[in-house]
């Protein structure tokens, strides 16, 4: 009996370990904003993330942990390097090189069709300032074992003590509100054989 319990415990630990190895396999993250002259977009060229997920019979049952990080200087604007440098200055990139989101809790996770409706909350840190936010995202699992989260979130820069960037001697002023539109896929690594 003790032998069977030991085998069961080892299998359980291996299962949990295998679930904890999720890393980014694909992503798209765009920041959209406005100014007094035109709308603008910036795209993150690098997104890092890892998470722990629990599946039962191929169905996502819980998101136990999730952390997403975007290097500030990987964010590139369609308007070129002048806009990029204004963005990096506003985000205090030299002092705070990363934007980070750490999952606090899952408020609801509901299977809907071939995907999931997820209401989550967590801490978003930008330019050294953190705020607790709610996120409503869609989740979808892939045949390759990946899981993809997609959604959008509107934020005010001033909520993070960020002064909206200006350019052209102050004649161009950006709006306070921005929208982050994202799709991030994570895939589990195969457990390492001992």
Would you kindly state where each structural domain of the chain is located, as residue ranges? 18-188
Residue appearing with tokens 């959604």? 151
Whether the model clears a pTM of 0.75, i.e. scores above it, the answer is: yes
Cα 180 to Cα 21, 22, 111, 143, 156: the distances in Å are 26, 23, 24, 27, 11
Q: Which residues pair with 117 in a beta bridge?
A: 110, 138
pLDDT at 150 over 60: yes
pLDDT-derived band at 171, boundaries 50, 70, 90: low
Burial of 175 per CB tally in 10 Å (0-12, 13-18, 19+):
middle
pLDDT-derived band at 144, boundaries 50, 70, 90: confident
pLDDT at 16 over 90: no
Domain 18-188 CATH (choose: 2.40.128.110, 2.60.120.620, 3.10.450.50, 2.40.30.40): 2.40.128.110
């Amino acid at each position: 009996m003790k032998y069977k319990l030991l085998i069961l415990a080892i299998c359980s630990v291996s299962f949990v370990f295998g679930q904890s190895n999720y890393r980014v396999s694909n992503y798209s993250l765009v920041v959209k904003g406005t100014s007094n002259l035109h709308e603008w977009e910036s795209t993150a060229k690098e997104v890092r993330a890892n998470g722990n997920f629990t599946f039962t019979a191929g169905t996502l049952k819980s998101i136990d942990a999730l952390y997403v990080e975007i290097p500030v200087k990987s964010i590139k604007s369609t308007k070129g390097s002048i806009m990029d440098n204004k963005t990096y200055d506003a985000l205090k990139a030299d002092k705070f090189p990363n934007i980070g989101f750490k999952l606090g809790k899952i408020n609801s996770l509901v299977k809907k069709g071939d995907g999931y409706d997820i209401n989550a909350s967590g801490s978003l840190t930008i330019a050294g300032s953190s705020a607790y936010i709610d996120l409503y995202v869609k989740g979808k699992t892939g045949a390759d074992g990946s899981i993809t989260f997609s959604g959008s979130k509107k934020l005010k820069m001033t909520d993070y003590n960020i002064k909206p960037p200006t350019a052209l001697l102050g004649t161009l002023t950006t709006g306070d509100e921005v929208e982050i539109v994202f799709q991030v896929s994570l895939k589990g690594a195969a457990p390492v054989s001992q």
